[in-house]
Amino acid sequence: MSTPSVTDMHGTGRLGWRDAKTLLLSALGGALEFYDFVVFVFFAIPLGHLFFPPTTAPWLAQLQVFGIFAAGYLARPLGGIVMAHYGDTLGRKKMFLLSVFLMALPTLCIGLLPVYAQIGMLAPLLLLLLRVVQGIAVGGEVPGAWVFVAEHVPPQRIGFACASLTSGLTVGILIGSLVAAAINRGMSPAQVLDYGWRLPFLIGGVFGFCAVWLRRWLRETPVFEAMHARKELARGLPLREVFAHHLPSVLLSMLVTWMLTAAIVVVILMTPSLVQSVFHIAPARAFLGNNLASFALAVACLFYGWLADRLGYARTLLLGALGLILASYALYLDLQAGGAHFVALYGLAGFSVGVTGVVPALMVVAFPPAVRFSGLSFSYNVAYALFGGLTPPLIGLLVQRIGVLAPVHYVALTACVGIGVALSVMASQRRQLALNAA
């Protein structure tokens, strides 16, 4: 685990114009790419109808689509480990460009896929294959983007820099939600099943290639250029160095990723489908609430990043995790009672998910620059593959067996893990300060 001195940074370093431009272009490109990755889940219901036999029970078809969605998470470690290796040895920017290209192509292809009625079981298999390619791409994209922006700004602004990138990624979720809302509002259910479901994937393919073009204007990180000039790049396999000397940082990163995964996947991505199938909320209202929640999340990421640079990462994580528990229970208890305040409480829950904006900064500073990409990417992607991959089908099963509050119980459990990490880091800081004073 990183020393407390790097886990809780303070300072007054300012962002220059070049830094601001890098953050803006990175966040915009990340938004376009993450839209490609998450729009799949917003159309889980029509995809379940179209890509599986018509005799399949609706709940089972949705569970199977969630399983294909989860396959993208299971593929993330492969892309993350390979791209991180070359990111630590050849440069951050090259992998930053490759990952977005690998996302755009399969997204476009999904929009062109034939359905079950046309090619039978080959349809879900092709959908699964393209989803795996998407997972490989995002496995390199997300950790690489955090490292990229963190190494472009003063150390005292790493929290805000990483949060701005995370905010950009959540804007991608918002774009997906807006597109889904527009399609559900402007088309009949029959039109959505006929051709409407294809539109968001075709749009996403174009978005992805726009992101490739945008990233051509970015430059390599000063940290990597300095390491290259001083011949301080990792020799051999950077991941071997991570395993040999940085396992506590790996554990810390995996635990906070679990909380991040639950908050994003359950509260933001799965809830629009859950409130329709479990709580019988109309699709238009479900996506209206999700639009507000996604917007609140994008704003909250910036707020929590700003706060983390002032209060410290651990303290901000502690406060934010407590807020996540309270807001999530408020949302689901209201839904259980009929959902009278659904839209407003979903917005509040979305804001509480903004605590995830603190997580990447905590992980970035946990690893030294020479193995930073590999350490962060392995920890984040393996944890996301495990927890993100299992969460959608697990939530589907838990709702059937435990009841409608199962999703919020799961989110609360992971938030408690985040609280435990924050308390552990704060205790480590106090011990380090005592040793320094002695």
In the predicted model, what is the mean pLDDT of residues 383-404?
84
- State the Rg of the chain over Cα: 21
Q: Is the pLDDT of residue 70 over 90?
A: no
Task: Please tell me the chain's helix, strand, coil percentages from 3-state DSSP, rounded to the nearest 5.
Answer: 85, 0, 15
Residues 6+ apart with CB under 8 A from 429: 4, 5, 7, 8, 314
**How do residues 166-197 score in pLDDT, each as one tens digit?**
898 888 878 887 888 888 888 888 888 888 88
- Residue 169: what pLDDT? 83
- Residue 178: what pLDDT? 83
Q: Quick one: which of 142, 139, 143, 140 has its CA closest to 76? A: 139
C-beta separation of 352 from 327 below 8 A:
yes
Type of residue at 426? M
How far is Cα of residue 367 from the mean position of the Cα atoms in its chain? Answer: 20
Q: Is the pLDDT of residue 6 over 70?
A: no
**How do residues 109-142 score in pLDDT, each as one tens digit?**
999 999 888 898 898 889 888 988 888 887 877 8
Q: Give the relative orientation of helices 158-186 and 122-150 as an angle to the nearest 10 degrees.
A: 150
In the predicted model, what is the mean pLDDT of residues 191-216?
85
The band of 294, judged by pLDDT with boundaries at 50, 70 and 90, is: confident
- The CB-based long-range contact list for 197-202 (8 Å cut-off, 24+ gap) reads 197/43, 197/46, 197/47, 197/50, 198/111, 198/112, 199/111, 200/39, 200/42, 200/43, 200/111, 200/176, 201/39, 201/107, 201/108, 201/110, 201/111, 202/108, 202/111, 202/112
C-beta separation of 251 from 367 below 8 A:
no
2-16, 146-160, 423-437: which has the minimum mean pLDDT? 2-16
The band of 438, judged by pLDDT with boundaries at 50, 70 and 90, is: low
C-beta separation of 345 from 428 below 8 A:
no
**How do residues 339-358 score in pLDDT, each as one tens digit?**
899 999 999 999 999 999 99
- Residue 325: what pLDDT? 97
Query: What does the DSSP assignment read for 137-152?
Result: HHHHHHHHHHHHHHTT
- State what percent of residues in the chain have pLDDT above 70: 92
Q: Rounded to whole angstroms, what are the CA distances from 36 to 337, 339, 365, 390? A: 34, 30, 28, 21
Average of per-residue pLDDT values in the chain = 84
- Residue 7: what pLDDT? 38
Q: Quick one: which of 438, 298, 431, 326 has its CA closest to 5? A: 431
Residues 6+ apart with CB under 8 A from 231: none
How far is Cα of residue 105 from the mean position of the Cα atoms in its chain? Answer: 20
Which CATH number is associated with domain 4-437? 1.20.1250.20
Q: Is the pLDDT of residue 335 over 90?
A: yes
